[in-house]
A and B are shown apart, each in its own frame.
Chain A
Amino acid sequence: DGGITQSPKYLFRKEGQNVTLSCEQNLNHDAMYWYRQDPGQGLRLIYYSQIVNDFQKGDIAEGYSVSREKKESFPLTVTSAQKNPTAFYLCASSPLGTGAPPQHFGDGTRLSIL
């Protein structure tokens, strides 16, 4: 079945450490997104990409980096510059050029500080 796979499900980061969250989709979607969700809050956009080798900053990009070398993959790196990384991270994808399709989400990665 087609879908979005995020890994790992749980991740712990030490102070000063960079960590990378994986997101892979086999839906053949052009657009991919990374969101951060804090308890009791909505989703906030970190980065998005509409085409391979191109990506745009969202509302809270500081302390994060991404790459889009393949259509299927959109990994997110949480750098040591992100001082408050503890959150639930969601990856999503959607096709382009078909009006306003819904975004499909992965199961999320919960990141905590050790």
Chain B
Amino acid sequence: GQNIDQPTEMTATEGAIVQINCTYQTSGFNGLFWYQQHAGEAPTFLSYNVLDGLEEKGRFSSFLSRSKGYSYLLLKELQMKDSASYLCAVLDSNYQLIWGAGTKLIIKP
């Protein structure tokens, strides 16, 4: 079966750096997405990786290793507004998105 694993919850301090990991086992791979979802709201797109390596976008970066079935989302200079769930999703061989359960990130002052 297809599976995406993320930690359920993480806690970090305002101004610090946090890394959220995602491992996947899917039938085929056509890219990996990270989304941010605030409580009670819709997910919003953060990043997309299809080749190995690091993609940087402001305070957020996303890394992919296809051989290891592994990605991480790196958040720098954490702000209180970064408190949210972060969803990892993989586009499989049928171009369907397979979603992880999300990681709830709690930011403390």
A interface with B by C-beta (< 8 Å)? 35, 40-45, 48, 88, 90, 99-100, 102-108, 110
- By size class, the interface of chain B is 20 to 34
Find A108's partner among B42, B45, B99 (CB 8 Å cutoff).
B42
CA gap between A41 and B99 in the complex, in Å: 9
For the complex formed, measure the closest distance between the CB of A57 and the CB atoms of chain B, giving whole angstroms: 12
For the complex formed, measure the closest distance between the CB of B45 and the CB atoms of chain A, giving whole angstroms: 4
Query: Judging by beta carbons under 8 Å apart, are A100 and B31 in contact?
Result: yes
Q: Knowing A42-B87, A43-B87 touch, does A102 contact B45 (C-beta < 8 A)?
A: yes
B interface with A by C-beta (< 8 Å)? 4, 8, 30-31, 33, 40-45, 48, 50, 87, 89, 91, 95-97, 99-102
Query: Judging by beta carbons under 8 Å apart, are B87 and A108 in contact?
Result: no
Q: Knowing A100-B95, A102-B33, A103-B97 touch, does A108 contact B102 (C-beta < 8 A)?
A: no
Query: Judging by beta carbons under 8 Å apart, are A41 and B48 in contact?
Result: no
Residues of chain A within 8 A (CB-CB) of B42 are 90, 105-108
9 A-B residue pairings within 8 Å (CB atoms): A35-B99, A40-B8, A40-B101, A41-B102, A42-B4, A42-B87, A100-B95, A106-B42, A108-B42
Query: Judging by beta carbons under 8 Å apart, are B43 and A105 in contact?
Result: yes
For the complex formed, measure the closest distance between the CB of B50 and the CB atoms of chain A, giving whole angstroms: 6
Q: Knowing A105-B42, A107-B42, A108-B42 touch, does A42 contact B101 (C-beta < 8 A)?
A: yes
CA gap between A107 and B41 in the complex, in Å: 6
Closest to B6 in A: A42
Closest to A91 in B: B42
Q: Knowing A42-B87, A43-B87, A100-B30 touch, does A105 contact B44 (C-beta < 8 A)?
A: yes
Residues of chain A within 8 A (CB-CB) of B95 are 100
